[in-house]
Amino acid sequence: MKERVLTGDRVTGKLHLGHYVGSLKYRVELQDQYETFVLLADVQALTTHFLHPEIIKDNVRNVALDYLAVGIDPEKATIFVQSLIPEIAELTVYYSMFVTVNSLRHNPTIKAESKAGDFDDMYYGFLGYPISQAADITFCKATLIPVGEDQLPHIEQTRKIVRRFNQLYQPVLVEPKPLIGEVPRLIGLDGSHKMSKSLGNAILLDSTKEEVAEKIKKVKTDPARIHKTDPGHPEICPIYAYHQAFRKESSDEIYQSCTKGQIGCMACKQKIAQSINDRLDPMRERRAAYLEHPKRVDEILMAGTENARIMAKETMREVRDAMGMNY
């Protein structure tokens, strides 16, 4: 039987090149190897955006369109909306009966968000999101979760919940394994460690050619380079990081030319803007085709959600049977 992969994103904004480099690129490959489920995590987005649900509403379709544009193929992958699978919420409630607050406090994301270990102001939904993550993974019996090394504790929490459930009741849940891969992080246009829409340092996947060129043009490069012949330090320049991400084959050449003062920053930027645009061109074509038939995106989401719901109902039936709550 084919392994089943679950991946997804919180739908709080349009996706950008950082998402592409870090995960979307690999998802397009995964869909050919595994049965792939892609979650539009709108409920999880509420943990931080409950005051502005309208942002989430807009972005369910934006993110779905980004997925389709990068090449996630609805014929191969099931794209679905989290809140339209009520069984996920139901499983979350059941699991929460046997997960201690203390174990949630040790989750790295929860820990990082709590101010100096003070959990008093933390919302219950946020504190419990690792439980809802376990429900996302287990409702469809996903066996593989693509993660970077640093995200292993998140998967461990789900594995613990599965083991506990299977031990308490009957072994009906599947313990997922991490699919550890590189999760490259793309630095922001401002040189900060991460590209992020909220930091305003991102190139969105739906950018036009002109927007890409304009954003790249404004990037601050090595301040030591005043003249083209000044030796540069590519390791501190965001443009060089983009060369490594999008023009790997010629990034050594750029490194040499920069350090020897043989290339000007303007020419270096034009090369990378061109490469990024070359990468985005097929996405632009696919996006334009979907935008001509906007109903098609809704149909894809509904069909994917229906498919996921069938599995969710079956898992819920097994869970209730295992617990003896099948009256």
Residues interacting with ligand SF4, by CB under 6 A?
A: 221-222, 225, 232, 234, 237, 239-240, 254, 258, 263, 265, 268-269
Q: Measured from the CB atom, is 151 or 244 closer to ligand SF4? A: 244
Pick the closest to residue 212 from 16, 68, 25 (CA basis). 16
At residue 68's C-alpha, the angle toward residues 64 and 71, to 5°, is 145
Tokens coding 209:
């050619």
Distance in Å, CB of 232 to ligand SF4, minimum: 4
Contact indicator for 60, 8 with CB cutoff of 8 Å:
no
Closer residue to ligand SF4 (CB): 263 or 308: 263
Q: How far is the CB of 208 from ligand SF4 (least distance, A)?
A: 22
Instruction: Output the smallest distance, CB 251 to ligand SF4, in A.
Output: 9
Closest distance of CB 269 from ligand SF4, Å: 6
Give the residue with the Cβ less far from ligand SF4, 52 or 260.
Answer: 260
- Contact between 294 and 65 under an 8 Å Cβ cutoff? The reply is no
Q: What element of type H or E holds 79?
A: strand 77-81
Nearer to ligand SF4, 239 or 273 (CB): 239
Residue 186 or 237: the one with the smaller Cβ distance to ligand SF4 is 237
74 SS3 class = coil
User: What single string gives the DSSP state of each residue in 258-317?
Assistant: HHTT-S-HHHHHHHHHHHHHHHHHHHHHHHHHHHHSHHHHHHHHHHHHHHHHHHHHHHHH
Identity of the residue, 74 or 234, whose beta carbon is nearer to ligand SF4 in the bound complex: 234
Task: Find out whether 212 and 239 touch, Cβ atoms under 8 Å.
Answer: no
Q: Minimum distance from CB of 231 to ligand SF4 (Å)? A: 9
SS3 62: helix
Give min distance, CB of 271 to ligand SF4, in A. 9
Which residues share a beta bridge with 146? 179
